[in-house]
Structure 1
Amino acid sequence: MFGKKKNTPQIDKEQLELIQNAQRRIKQKKRLFAHFAMFLIGALFLILANTVLGIGKDFKIAGIEWFVFAILVWLFFLLYHTFNVFVTHKFMGKSWEQQQLDKLVSLQKARIEKIKSELKKEAPVIAESEVYNETKSSDTTGSELTIIVAAAENNAIGKDNKLIWHLSNDLKRFKSLTNGHHIIMGRKTFESFPKPLPNRTHVVITRQVDYKAPKGVIIVNSLEAAIDASKNDSQPFIIGGGQIYEQAMMIANKIELTRVHETFEADAFFPEIDLNIWQEIDNEFHKKDANHDHEFSFITYIRK
């Protein structure tokens, strides 16, 4: 009844930035080291070129050998490079590395706690669904969960917790179909009865703790629990109200609908029947007569 969402592991954006920054800093230090090595070798070469090979021996600037200026200029660029690596871009010593590691660990812990929190929220729903599915798959009686309802053209089913119409043939059909079976309903639907209906096992869904009901009435707190309580019945019926119908539409096998061919003002409605999911297999039309103020049809749907 409920799908499982599969989480794809991902590196957090901030974690990725930290890793990329660390890699970039390592490259910067490597380039600085290479620059320093080239400076030493280059400076030595300039000195040897001037003193040993005599290249530019007579060329001086302000009485100072030219290679000294060349080495000083190169030294300036090396110092500037060093300043950029260790000051402009911050230094990457042991303290910095530890800070990055601590930040990564902190972010990972926060991510884990967030996942745990989401799992805690979803666990009850997932567990309830899995329990229901296990019960359904292990049910050897072949139970067929059936919704039975009378609804107008605008899907109205009731007002002020009462029926809007009185159709004697509909009541007879309801009695005939549900006789001897479990009937599952919400608390308000149960309380609309003057007394429990004879020769039927009433299963009432309510969130009220310690709800009092006549002897023989089964009290549960969810639709799944109601179905479990009816598992020995070959055809339990869902009889209302609106919220219970809406939940049952997702799992029921069959709908026995009395369609009253008029529209009515109401405060309770039946869900729309999706013909991509449900297939009509029977339709019996009835005209108005002395006992029936409205035209109606008995329609049977089964899940495709």
Structure 2
Amino acid sequence: MFGKKKNVPQIDKEQLELIQNAQKRIKQKKRLYAHFVVFLIGALFLILANTVLGIGKNFKIAEIEWFVFAILLWLFFLLYHIFNVFVTHKFMGKAWEQKQLDKLVALQKNRIEKIKTELKKEAPHIAKSEVYNEQLNNKKTQELTIIVAAAENNAIGKDNKLIWHLSNDLKRFKTLTNGHHIIMGRKTFESFPKPLPNRTHVVITRQQNYKVPEGVITVNSLEAAIEACKTDAQPFIIGGGQIYEQAMNIADKIELTRVHETFEADAFFPEIDTNIWKETSNTFHKKDDNHKHEFSFITYTRK
């Protein structure tokens, strides 16, 4: 009694429109074909009517039989009909043309809205990328370098003093830092008898109104110290242990003097992670009269 409901194929509006247009065109061509057949029969009838039946035999226009003009006029209408079908496509009509134009406008509006939506989504990422690139470019103009002498157990000092005296290490320190800003903690600064010549000292301290000689810059953070060195293409961080630890996350290079012994100490250099740092040079020095310990000059750059 109750049969299964038949699935009625669904035709979307665009397909339906194409079918309707095709039907209109078929009708138009059928009319044109009928017009052509009627024209042939009618032309033949006019000729026979004049020549056989004698209708209007004596009626002429400019010495030409009247039926010739009648056939030519009819031919003109036939040609006009053909032109409409195959050239101007009148079967589509003004309403169809306007509808197609409206569709195109709607499609363009949709595309514009999609582009606007995508741009709104991407704008924060683009802005962030531009800021990042700007920061990266600014960073590339400055190479922040850690310079340190550390033992095999990473010892760097005891009682705010150096544990060893290596003449070549001191010469290297002087050569590399000469003419640059040197960033240090308060205790490191206080370990100097006086400020080092031909270098700009930037001292990090939490003490308020900390007294320093003229020309020495005081700040309260590593970030502020780096900002104070923005005119220097290669500022150096020279200690102590806590400052080194903070700087390991942002430095571009490490100039390390590795002393090949272990020492008792109260200040240590952080462990160098070789997943982050790449060794680019290594020069070994043996013991001699001026150096009681073997040591190596090693350069690391951030990967």
TM class by shorter-chain length? 0.5 to 0.7
User: For the structure 1 residues 243 and 135, does the alpha-carbon distance in structure 2 shift closer, same or farther, using more than 3 Å as the test?
Assistant: farther
Q: Which deviations, in whole Å up to 9, do the C-alpha atoms of 1:115-168 show, x marking residues without a partner?
A: xxxxxxxxxxxxxxxxxx899557377000000000000000000000000000
Query: TM-score normalised to the size of structure 2?
Result: 0.55
Partner AA of 1:249 in structure 2: M
The answer as to whether partners of 1:148 and 1:255 remain within 8 angstroms in 2 is yes
1:139–1:159 distance in 2 versus 1, CA, 3 Å:
same
Matches within 5 A, 1:1-304: 136-137=135-136, 139=138, 142-304=141-303
Tell me the residue number matched to 1:130: none
Gaps of 5+ in 1: 1-132
- 8 A Cα contact 1:141 1:234, kept in partner: no
How many angstroms apart in 2 are the aligned matches of 1:193 and 1:233?
22
Q: TM-score, normalization: structure 1?
A: 0.55
The runs of 4+ residues in structure 1 deviating greater than 6 Å are none
Q: Secondary structure at the match of 1:283?
A: strand
1:250/1:205 CA distance change after superposition, 3 Å: same
User: Aligned partners of 1:265 and 1:180: how far apart in 2?
Assistant: 33
How many angstroms does 1:239 deviate by?
0.1
Structure 2 gap ranges (5+)? 1-131
Q: What is the CA RMSD across the aligned residues, in angstroms? A: 1.6
Cα pair distance change 1:215/1:134, threshold 3 Å: farther
Q: Which has the larger radius of gyration?
A: 2
Paired residues of 1:135 and 1:228 also in contact (CA < 8 A) = no
Letter aligned with residue 277 of structure 2 = W
CA distance in 2, matches of 1:139, 1:175: 27
